[in-house]
Amino acid sequence: MLRYVRVDTEAELLDALRKDGAQLLSGGTDLLVKMRSGLVRPKSLVDPAAVAELRGIETAGGALRIGTATPLSEILASKEVRERAPLLVDVLRVLGCVQIRNRGTLGGNLANASPAADSAIPLLLYEANLELAGGDGARNVPVGGFFLGPGRTVLQHGEYIRAVRIPASRQNWIPFFHKVGRRRALTIAIASIGGLAAVSQGRATEVRLAAGSVAPIPLRLKSAEEWLAGRALDRETIQHAGALAAGEVSPIDDVRATAAYRRAVTGDLVVRFLEGAAAA
């Protein structure tokens, strides 16, 4: 028989997750779908919604700490998040629908480790850190080092993501996020590109680029970023950055799109972002 366990403290959470077949249940918007299709068969579902360390949004010295069991809709409504990490808000606005955002969490979106996990894109761009906790204590992992492959992360048995920490960042970033899907609303990305650009007098001081659904994990597009650093954002530079980005991804053919289409979209979206940043 499947057991539902609601815990009130981190000590209870650790204890409950140690048990054979225990699985953390946050919003359930990924997990219940997998359970229904028989992909996972937990013996108990451990609900951390009442654990204070996993809830809420705090700021300290310009940095943000978001508990991973905080519903996405709460993050979307937060003034602090809008001020300090506006791209995260832009992305959450198009993650699922109201009902999904009322239930879904950052913890679930990240731990589910889909290559299409939308929240991973702004978190990669803001160079967020994940606070992990488990039986052996707590550790910090950069979000860029968290994903190992589709459905696979560095989380050990009994370990969970307690919070996301977004460091203080530039105020003058030009943000970009675009997700290409098969329909306009409630869509899983065929490809998505996010970016942050700091531009001064037509020159890219710094550009960060991240892509989803075009590789086994959401990733930063480092060779395009390095090419752009310090360069004037002219037509040739932008086109070359698009080509570098397209060459950096390793998409697959699947039911939603071909690899060739995903690669082309990656390059095109990078070009679109940079053209906009150059004109801003």
Ligand X SMILES: Cc1cc2nc3c(=O)[nH]c(=O)nc-3n(C[C@H](O)[C@H](O)[C@H](O)COP(=O)(O)OP(=O)(O)OC[C@H]3O[C@@H](n4cnc5c(N)ncnc54)[C@H](O)[C@@H]3O)c2cc1C
Tokens linked to 139: 């550790």
- In 3D space, the residue among 102, 220, 89 whose CA is nearest the CA of residue 166 turns out to be 89
In the bound state with ligand X, the residue whose beta carbon lies nearer, of 105 and 169, is 105
Q: CB of 204: closest distance to ligand X in angstroms?
A: 28
- In 3D space, the residue among 275, 267, 68, 244 whose CA is nearest the CA of residue 180 turns out to be 267
In the bound state with ligand X, the residue whose beta carbon lies nearer, of 51 and 209, is 51
Rounded Cα distance between 16 and 8, Å, is 11
| Tokens 């366990």 found at | 5
Q: CB of 8: closest distance to ligand X in angstroms?
A: 16
Q: CB of 208: closest distance to ligand X in angstroms?
A: 20
- In 3D space, the residue among 271, 176, 175, 171 whose CA is nearest the CA of residue 228 turns out to be 271
Give the list of residues 6+ apart from residue 224 with CB closer than 8 angstroms, or none. Answer: 207, 209, 241, 242, 244, 245, 248, 270
- Residues lying near ligand X in the complex (CB under 6 A) are found at 23-31, 33, 68, 95-96, 100, 103-105, 107-109, 111-112, 116-118, 155, 160-161, 186, 188
Round to the nearest angstrom and report the end-to-end CA distance of the chain. 58
In the bound state with ligand X, the residue whose beta carbon lies nearer, of 25 and 57, is 25
What is the number of the residue whose Cβ is closest to ligand X?
108
In the bound state with ligand X, the residue whose beta carbon lies nearer, of 49 and 198, is 49
Q: CB of 271: closest distance to ligand X in angstroms?
A: 24
In the bound state with ligand X, the residue whose beta carbon lies nearer, of 105 and 266, is 105
Q: CB of 11: closest distance to ligand X in angstroms?
A: 16
